[in-house]
Amino acid sequence: MLTYGFDRNEEVLKEKYEKNANAIKTSYPDLPKPPLPLTLKLEKYEGTYRHPGYQKIKIESKNGKLKADREDMTWKQHLDFKHVSGDYFIVETDSTTAPGSVHRDVMPAEFRVGSDGVVRSLGIAFESEMGKEGRIWFERV
């Protein structure tokens, strides 16, 4: 019976690895070729975004990439944003304190830009149960 536990753990890790490896294709199956450039300069996406239940995310541009450290949360989390196309990204999360997140995970994310050319919100698929298009929306503050 103990062997089953190890087998199941290996299976779960393999599934997670495959999900992460195929995240772009799975999340965005109809990407244009070549991918669209960012709508704005990378620095324009920086800022603090807030959700009433998920608290805040402070996005910063470091070494040409968007990143966030959520150290003030109960379940600390580091996020790396990988540009996919237009205002769409894949977020790689890393947390050793969040339940079910002992290993890196990936999820789609997108920014919404207003007609004035200012980023208004950030949507991240933190909850896979919400479906392929489901996002938790953080408003820029």
Average pLDDT, the chain: 85
Percent of the chain with pLDDT over 70: 78
* pLDDT for position 1: 46
Closest CA to 89 of 135, 51, 56, 131: 135
Q: Average of pLDDT values for 104-128?
A: 93
Q: Average of pLDDT values for 97-123?
A: 85
106 vs 59, which has greater pLDDT?
A: 59
List of residues 6+ apart from 106 with CB closer than 8 A: 19, 20, 23, 90, 91, 92, 93
* pLDDT for position 60: 97
Is a pLDDT exceeding 60 seen at residue 4? no
Q: Which fold has domain 2-140?
A: Lipocalin (2.40.128)
List of residues 6+ apart from 69 with CB closer than 8 A: 58, 76, 77, 78, 79
